[in-house]
Amino acid sequence: MYLEDPGIYYEIYGKGKPVIILNGIMMSTSSWMAHIERWQKKFQVITYDTRDQGKSSRITDKPYTIEVHVEDLKKLIDHLGLKKVNLMGVSYGAQIAELFALKYPEMIDKLVLSNATDHIDNYLKSIGQAWKVAAELYDGEKFFDISLPYIYSRPFYNNNYEWLMNRRKVFKETLTKDWFDGFVRLASSNETFDIRNEISNITAKTLFISGEEDIITPKSHIIEMSKKVKNSLLANLENTGHALFFEKFEEFCLLVEAFFNND
């Protein structure tokens, strides 16, 4: 389904409490199919692609910042006639969720922030720059080789190398110039993201999830974030990296289900 203005593609599954999922920067609605199959039996799942992602529209006429997605999300929630929602954001999506929770606190019930950050430090900015350089090669295999080792943990890489190499071939076959250009714009949009002084104003009950081996959004940063948000819980998953929602599928699903279904 599409919200024509601003050109947002979304999908809805199941019934019950609405939970909106916000993608990581390289993801799309299709990234969540295994989670949706499980979660739609427990609550209503709403997935969508931000602009410059997946099946949503592109922003090619001007530079933009990550804040543009906050207003797009507001339009989607209004379009669906929802008064209050739960948000679950991963990485880039968690940043959008944080900004939304600060601007529209009255619209949030609960918040899950997985592999999140409250600012882009120089190390993370440098990773983003490396990703952009890789994307501008317009080669799926090279993009995979440069970008993906940051995302998965060392145990996952060592134990699933054949699967990863098959994914490398999929990147080569499926990633288009349009995808790469959209990714570069997304990776440029959050370079000045910094809510360290505002994050303590988040009032929604919040669950932070970190990965022990995540080098992109380290556990230590997420611990500091959780200390700033008064009404929050913290869970750390061992032997996993930035893609913990995939690497530790069962543990991640159980955490999210328990948090959203516990009144």
Q: Express each pLDDT in 11-30 by its tens digit.
A: 999 999 999 999 999 999 99
φ, ψ of residue 10 to 5 degrees: the values are: -145, 160
Map tokens 């998965």 to a residue. Answer: 152
- Band (pLDDT 50/70/90 cuts) for residue 6 is very high
Q: 263 pLDDT exceeds 90?
A: no
Q: Per-residue pLDDT tens for 216-242?
A: 999 999 999 999 999 999 999 999 999
Domains of the chain listed by start with CATH number: 2-121+194-261 (3.40.50.1820)
The answer to whether 256 and 15 have CB atoms below 8 angstroms apart is no
pLDDT in tens, 181-227: 999 999 999 999 999 999 999 999 999 999 999 999 999 999 999 99
Q: Tell me the Ramachandran region of residue 147: left when phi exceeds 0, alpha when psi lies from -120 to 50, beta otherwise.
A: alpha
Largest CA distance in the chain: 48
Q: Tokens 């709403």 identify what position?
A: 46
- For residue 52, pLDDT over 90 is answered with yes
Q: How do residues 117-136 score in pLDDT, each as one tens digit?
A: 999 999 999 999 999 999 99
pLDDT of residue 153: 97
